Each structure stands twice: as structure tokens, then as C-alpha cells.
Structure 1
């Protein structure tokens, strides 16, 4: 009884190499359903447990990574301040793979081509575990935010827009 095993992603290899405890989740995806709400439905999880990985570009530092709850929006002023930039804008989608080694819908904060300055929303710090992309569409991993922040040499900072 052999179950077809997909090749491990850089993210999974790195987590295993550092002996970090994690839980893997797989789900079906389509080009039309790459959003966090679809992933949350597939995994039967709340969107606030799923953290999306966004890549922005600062006017001084170049690329920076933001890891924020799936049901929130990134505040560009907050990531600019946290990363020591005056201005930050989202990385063009066409540059994502060259910059990170990952494609849209499969961008993990772990195992990028280069270790980029990474900022994780402070709401993650108090959680037991969060779910992030494991480096491929249809693959997520759940791990402790403390392990994640150490793994990517990141910082917990407030990154999201406050709800009115």
C-alpha cells in the first residue's frame, strides 16, 4: 500500500532539519480558489489561524516579508516603520518567484531563496500554533509561532490595519 508521496518543499526540509515540531495539511486547490478563505474552508479552520505570507519592497531595504492573519490586511505604514523604510509597496507578482523561490498561493515564510527580513504580526505571539504555507499550493504547516520567529530570524510586530 504505497501512498504517492510528493517531494518535500524547502520549508518542510528546513523545519525537519531544525527538529521543529509541525503538523502538515494538504488540500485540493484550483487557480480560482487560492485565497485564505478557501484554504480555511478546505482545512476546516478559522481564517485567523491561517497566516498569509506577503512580500513587500522597502525603499531602503528591498524585499521584506510580512506574515499576517488570513482575515486581516497588511498596513504598509506599519511594515515600513518596522523594517526601517520610509515607504513600502507590495512586490509585483511577476517578481515573487525570482525573489522568494515560491509562487503565489505557495509562498512560505520558511525556506525562501534568501533569508529576508521577516515580520510576524504580534497577534501570533500569544497563539499556541499558527498555520502557514509549507511552500507549495495545497500544502500548509502548523507550528509554534516561537519556532517560526526563530527559524526565520523574524520579529513580532503589529502589522495589520486596526478594525474601526
Structure 2
């Protein structure tokens, strides 16, 4: 059981686990999850670590649908930072305790500020990484926000 699943169980929220056989040659872990599980890609969210400069926060977590790209400028603006860039994979893994492709917003080693793209609020449930490749947690976006003390923002690129 991953730390992410343990957090959800301990919180006694309603959630469902969805396992699938991960293909190590998959180019996009999130799209692989959506396609393998037969899900709409805009309900499957990828967990991204973002490095900020010129802000009191240095690392933050951002979640956007797997078929979208992150608007780093919007993340920088939200945190009043000069710049936001994707964190290096080694930094993301060390900070969260998870491997890239299996980074969950739940149960990370270090609690970081979290932004969830506003599109999640149109969904009754969303899918996030369960803490390893091949495992997704389906949950209410409001439960995710409560468990992570996350905030809502428009952070995916439009178009």
C-alpha cells in the first residue's frame, strides 16, 4: 500500500483504486492511465512539481488534466513569483518520495502548497496517481483539496 492510499484510507474519504498494467515504454504516464482504464483524459490529473523563483515558496505542486499543459506563468502569478519552471525529476522524486510517473499529491514526504486546476471542479470525481505507476485513485476533487489544503486556480494552458 502506497503512502497516498494510506492517507486516503486514514481520512475515511470515499475513493476507488484503479490498477492497470503499466507499460514501461509509455511516453505519457497520465495518458497511458486514461487510455488503459478507458477514462476521459480531462478527468485524469497529472501531478507536477514546480520550482519558483522570487517567492517565499520554492517548490509547489500543480495538478492539471493529462491532456493539458501547465501554464507556468499562471502558477508564478498565483504565488507572486518572478518565474516558475518545472522542477528537475531528481528534485521531484527526492521531495515527494515518489518516482516520476507515479507522483501522487497525497502522502508526499514534504507538504507543499498545492494548486488544482479549476476544471476539476466540474467533475464529480477525478483520478490522481496512487503513488506508483499503474495505480490511480478516484476521488472527489473537494476531498483532494481538503486532504492537501489545496487551492483552485486556472493553471492549465488554454487552447
User: Normalising to structure 1: TM-score of the pair?
Assistant: 0.92
Deviations along 1:42-95, whole A, 9 cap, x unmatched? 101111110000001111211100011111100000011112312111000122
Whole-angstrom CA distance in 2 between matches of 1:53 and 1:83: 18
Whole-angstrom CA distance in 2 between matches of 1:20 and 1:152: 13
Structure 2 residue 95 is matched with structure 1 residue 99: yes
Is the radius of gyration larger for structure 1 or structure 2? 1
Unaligned runs of 5+ in 1: 1-7
Deviations along 1:115-156, whole A, 9 cap, x unmatched? 100000001112100000010111000000000001000001
User: Normalising to structure 2: TM-score of the pair?
Assistant: 0.95
- The corresponding residue for 1:12 is 5
Q: Root-mean-square deviation (CA), in Å? A: 1.0
- The corresponding residue for 1:125 is 121
Does 26-35 or 86-95 show the bigger shift?
A: 26-35
The number of residues matched between the two structures is 156
SS of aligned partner of 1:14: helix
Match of 1:90 among 75, 86, 89: 86
Whole-angstrom CA distance in 2 between matches of 1:160 and 1:143: 20
Match of 1:37 among 31, 35, 45: 31
- The corresponding residue for 1:137 is 133
Greater than 2 Å deviation, 4+ residue runs = none
Map of 1:10-89 to 2, 5 A cutoff?
Answer: 10-33=3-26, 35=28, 36-59=30-53, 60=55, 61-89=57-85
- The corresponding residue for 2:154 is 158
Unaligned runs of 5+ in 2: none
Whole-angstrom CA distance in 1 between matches of 2:10 and 2:155: 29
